[in-house]
Structure 1
Amino acid sequence: MNNIRLGMTEITVPQNAFGALPIQRVSTEEAVSLLRNAYDGGMRFFDTARAYSDSEEKMGKAFCGMRDKVFISSKTMATTKEKFEEDLNTTLTNLKTDYLDLYQLHCAAKCYTEEDEIYNCLVEAKRQGRVRHIGITAHKIGVAEDIVNSGLYETLQFPFSYLASDRDIALVNSCKEHDMGFIAMKGLSGGLLTNSRACMAFMSQYDALPIWGIQRQSELDEWLSFFENEVTMTDEIRDFIDKDRNELLGEFCRGCGYCMPCTVDITINQCARMSQMIRRAPSQNWLTDHWQQEMLKIDSCVDCGICKTRCPYELDIPNLLKKNLADYKEILAGKPV
């Protein structure tokens, strides 16, 4: 297993980290067990956020008494000093700690600089010792490039998978040139990529720390297996990736959910990618009465456009929903999957 140095932070951990967004969907007992098993299996970097409901609290319970053995990153969506202080204090309380290894501005709409109150809050928290390193997360490539070129942050967290564009790959290389740690989110593209071996082999080629969203022990076991059986890029894996890229590249939903809630209660982050999910997972899981009812809600779309303004990937979501519904109806009518 490669070790990754997160740039100027000097944080050095195995290239196999835990993304704790999904543990908000399981019980505290299950989450604590997952986190401790991840540590026992070799993972050392754990990523959470104030926006992930009770994820921080579960992590705090899991690592109580062993704070110095793990690296913990959290995030805030605050844009004012008051909200920043509220979020940071809540996060530290939830995690049962007096410091964070890394604190990031979450889903930044721009590169915040010394002219912005929120950036100065981050710097002051580091000066006080409540935060050891400062970073930022972004979803838009132009914003991410501005962040790297600013030299103001120690890490960047950005979507990165084997569906990455040449521009995305150049961003990762630019981080290395600027001695900036790169944390890869969406390594499975919101669940569209199902071959963990191919995903890990792709990451092994770059100075990137992937945080895999983990909800079940079976998922964790899959990632932990790579500590014992190291995977590198091969011709066979490269051929598989090329085939997958040809099928998936283009306008597709990553399932991040930032577009929600919908004004007419459409489950956008699933319905907008139904055509892919129904072909990449057991199709019967998506043809149930429940999902048929969910998909039919698309007919109620009023084209308000709110989801489009929220989408970090600037997708034409109403149009994407309608395309997925048309395909879904054809499948229900007998079109082969």
Structure 2
Amino acid sequence: MNVLGKTGLNVSPIGFGGIVVMDYEPEQASRIVADAVEFGINYFDVAPSYGNAEEKLGPALEPFRKDIHLACKTHLRDAKGARETLDQSLEYLKTDYFDVFQLHAITDVEEDVKAVFAKGGAMETILDAKKAGIIKHVGFSAHSEAAALAALNEYDFDTVMLPVSFVLHYQKQFESKVLEEAKKRNCGIIALKTLSSNKRPDGQTPIKYKKCWYEPIDDPEIAELAMCWTLSQGVSLAVSPGEEVLLKMMMELYPKLHKLSESEIETLKAYAASQVPIF
């Protein structure tokens, strides 16, 4: 277990990406959630924008709720919309509180960050819910360096969720400044896109991995190195992609994780150079 920054929560190094159970039958959802909990996963992340994932995850998690940490998000930027999504998420997920609640996918400083902190913005709802004990810890997920840094300057967030991927790092140093700032503030750092490789061409329909909007790494050898790299960057956990087979691969590879050798780092650099970064 790792400590999730200033939250003090003890979290499993692999987190469960809730989109995994989207469109599953109840029995399927219960099975994969139970398998994950038995493996030792205790951090579950979901969002209203993940299709019907909340409705599927809630009943499956109900038997384990007191033993796990549940994170949710709102993609809406106004207080009213954020309240509506919060209430709906609580209902779907069969809980009366969230361990972590996040602003979802902030990307643009004006349209996302400034909007949520403006009068009538989503942060009003989030802070009211925190006072009421409905939200224990407040965070955000970010898809751009500028938005993440701007958000960190607006509020003392408990958690930061962002892509921490060797492909993005070796191509663009995508995460470096945000990780540095988050660590200074003792934010719990939650990694996304550990197994991301190529950006999928616009308009191309996924054939194999329909719940991923990018092309994921499914070669176990590269995936193992990718996990080693991400989990060595000072993050508390890495949330799985939205495909059951990739979650299972991460679980199977976890016992093999190790400190990367120089030759393994060179392997990752060469692999990254041949990819089209997703951001």
TM over 0.5: same fold?
Answer: yes
Residue 193 of structure 1 pairs with residue 217 of structure 2:
yes
Contact kept in structure 2, 1:197 and 1:231, CA below 8 Å: no
Structure 1 distance, partners of 2:83, 2:153, is 27
2:146 to 123, 139, 142: 142
Deviation at 1:223, TM superposition (A): 1.5
Deviation at 1:80, TM superposition (A): 2.2
> Which SS does the other structure have where 2:22 is aligned?
helix
Residue 113 of structure 1 pairs with residue 117 of structure 2:
yes
Contact kept in structure 2, 1:101 and 1:131, CA below 8 Å: yes
Report matched runs for 1:126-137 at 5 Å.
Answer: 126-137=130-141
Q: Which residue of 2 aligns with 1:211?
A: 239
Relative CO higher for 1 or 2, CA cutoff 8 Å, sep ≥ 6? Answer: 2
Q: Which residue of 2 aligns with 1:5?
A: 3
Contact kept in structure 2, 1:61 and 1:95, CA below 8 Å: yes
Instruction: Provide the aligned C-alpha RMSD in A.
Output: 2.0
Larger Cα Rg: Structure 1 or Structure 2? 1
Aligned AA for 1:186?
K
Per mean C-alpha deviation after superposition, the further-off stretch among 153-162 and 192-201 is 192-201
Structure 2 distance, partners of 1:80, 1:54, is 22
Contact kept in structure 2, 1:204 and 1:232, CA below 8 Å: no
Q: Which residue of 2 aligns with 1:239?
A: 266
Q: Which residue of 1 aligns with 2:81?
A: 83
Contact kept in structure 1, 2:2 and 2:13, CA below 8 Å: yes
2:182 to 175, 193, 196: 175
Measured at CA, do residues 221 and 192 of structure 1 come closer, stay the same or move farther in structure 2, by a change above 3 Å?
closer
Q: Which residue of 2 aligns with 1:317?
A: none
Structure 1 distance, partners of 2:83, 2:177, is 35
Residue 122 of structure 1 pairs with residue 126 of structure 2:
yes
TM-score (normalised: structure 1):
0.69
Contact kept in structure 1, 2:105 and 2:142, CA below 8 Å: yes
Measured at CA, do residues 212 and 24 of structure 1 come closer, stay the same or move farther in structure 2, by a change above 3 Å?
same
**1:179-199 deviation per Cα after TM superposition (whole angstroms, max 9, x unaligned):** 111211122223343322011
Residue 14 of structure 1 pairs with residue 12 of structure 2:
yes
Deviation at 1:121, TM superposition (A): 1.1
Structure 2 distance, partners of 1:235, 1:99, is 45
Per mean C-alpha deviation after superposition, the further-off stretch among 158-167 and 112-121 is 112-121
Residue 60 of structure 1 pairs with residue 58 of structure 2:
yes
TM-score (normalised: structure 2):
0.82
More strand by share: 2
Report sequence identity in percent: 22
Structure 1: gaps spanning 5 or more residues: 255-312, 314-337
Per mean C-alpha deviation after superposition, the further-off stretch among 142-151 and 174-183 is 142-151
1:48 to 46, 49, 71: 46
Structure 1 distance, partners of 2:13, 2:155, is 24
Per mean C-alpha deviation after superposition, the further-off stretch among 204-213 and 37-46 is 204-213
Contact kept in structure 1, 2:21 and 2:57, CA below 8 Å: no
**1:306-336 deviation per Cα after TM superposition (whole angstroms, max 9, x unaligned):** xxxxxxx4xxxxxxxxxxxxxxxxxxxxxxx
**1:266-301 deviation per Cα after TM superposition (whole angstroms, max 9, x unaligned):** xxxxxxxxxxxxxxxxxxxxxxxxxxxxxxxxxxxx
Contact kept in structure 2, 1:148 and 1:180, CA below 8 Å: no
Structure 1 runs of 4+ with >4 Å offset: none
Count of matched residue pairs: 249
Contact kept in structure 2, 1:19 and 1:214, CA below 8 Å: yes
1:38 to 22, 36, 55: 36
Aligned AA for 1:210?
A
Deviation at 1:158, TM superposition (A): 1.3
Per mean C-alpha deviation after superposition, the further-off stretch among 92-101 and 21-30 is 21-30
